[in-house]
Chain A
């Protein structure tokens, strides 16, 4: 199972609509990084609206993806994290300190643009 990555101008949009398992997450990390390399994208939005469960490993992978993309020159915003997911993450002690977040895709794009302009 691979997660589709859509290109929009110089942004990449990803909507995760399945419960991530470890294998898929790793695969996704590789796919996204090679896509950034291919397209030279400057911004990435990962939408998690339909994700109900995030465990510590997936959280780590997501955090890593953000840092890695940053290294490659693409800003990443996570959007649509569900309240239940946020509470679980906080309970697990995962604060994702350096990861930018937004309420939905629209605000995620606005945030990206703001950050890229700065």
Chain B
């Protein structure tokens, strides 16, 4: 019986493919096809339906399906294209089989449905697994990249290090920041650490709490912390939220913070050449002529 249904489908595969293509083409108004050329769309559709048939024929899943889905993932086709395609296929094939049969009763109908589901569902599952697998892979790669970028520490001068922070800070990242900060302070023997929050878009109570904790931990290991890069809007939020940052020095820009850091380590910037004097000398020499 099952064999019979399958044979019906395989024998009339051409007709089914035609119906499927027509039906699926009418779906073409969907967003994802907007950027894809007609020929490309058609050739992919043909390939798709061939893959479906070959996997039904081979009693399950062929390597064609894997290759096909892998290529679509690489080309950036959306998953909805495949799921839409499979749904249309299910509809078309059920209609077709019902039309081909003479007698239709409830038992027969449910058997057809079960049979068709048995073909279609494994393919959908396989496709979704492939897609979600590739997504998870991307996410894990990005997580690693983000971790590498999340807490850099730059020793700019003897005893002075800078930690520029860019992007949102969450609890996990705050932890990483603190670890890197403390280890870096010990490693570089830094007396002063500048934490630059110019690139942190929002400073809420949570972020401020993490920064304060990091600063206190830095103080405990015997170094000093200066918070720099406080933009006007951040100063406003900090005060409006009632956060007390008075325990350690804060500066508006990295430049000012750096000057303070130099002061704390008993140093200062001195210009080797005074431009004003040079200009005066130049004017004097012109007058002399």
Contact = CB atoms under 8 A, between A and B. Distances in A.
Interface string B180-192: 0011011001110
Nearest to A94: B220
Contacts of B179: 83, 87
Contacts of B219: 101
Interface in A18-52: none
> Which of A78, A80, A86 gathers most chain B CB within 10 Å?
A86
Contacts of A103: 185-186, 189-191, 221-223
B178 A108 contact: no
Given A83-B182, A103-B189, A89 B220 contact: yes
A103 B178 CA distance: 17
B221 A83 contact: yes
B217 interface: yes
A37 B233 CA distance: 53
Nearest to A100: B222
A: contact size bracket: 20 to 34
B191 A86 contact: no
B: contact size bracket: 10 to 19
Q: Is the interface of A mostly helix, strand, loop or mixed?
A: mixed
B66 interface: no
Contact of B222 (A89, A95, A104): A104
A86 B223 contact: no
Given A83-B182, A103-B185, A90 B213 contact: yes
B216 interface: yes
A81 B216 contact: no
Nearest to A78: B222
Interface string A69-90: 0000000001111110111011
A87 B186 contact: no
A101 B217 contact: no
21 contacts: A78-B222, A82-B186, A82-B221, A83-B183, A83-B221, A86-B182, A86-B220, A87-B178, A87-B182, A89-B220, A90-B216, A96-B220, A97-B247, A101-B219, A103-B186, A103-B189, A103-B190, A103-B222, A103-B223, A107-B222, A108-B222
Interface string B218-236: 1111110000000000000
Contacts of A78: 222
B182 A107 contact: no
A13 interface: no
A2 to B, nearest CB: 25
A95 B218 CA distance: 11
B216 A80 contact: no
A85 B221 CA distance: 9
A81 B222 contact: yes
Contact of B217 (A79, A80, A87, A104): A87
> Which of B182, B191, B213, B220 gathers most chain A CB within 10 Å?
B220
A90 B189 CA distance: 21
A75 B183 CA distance: 27
A101 B217 CA distance: 11
Contacts of B182: 83, 86-87
Nearest to B182: A83
A103 B161 CA distance: 14
A87 to B, nearest CB: 6
A83 B182 CA distance: 5
A57 B19 CA distance: 79
A61 interface: no
A12 B202 CA distance: 47
Contact of A81 (B178, B183, B220): B220
A102 B217 CA distance: 12
B177 to A, nearest CB: 11
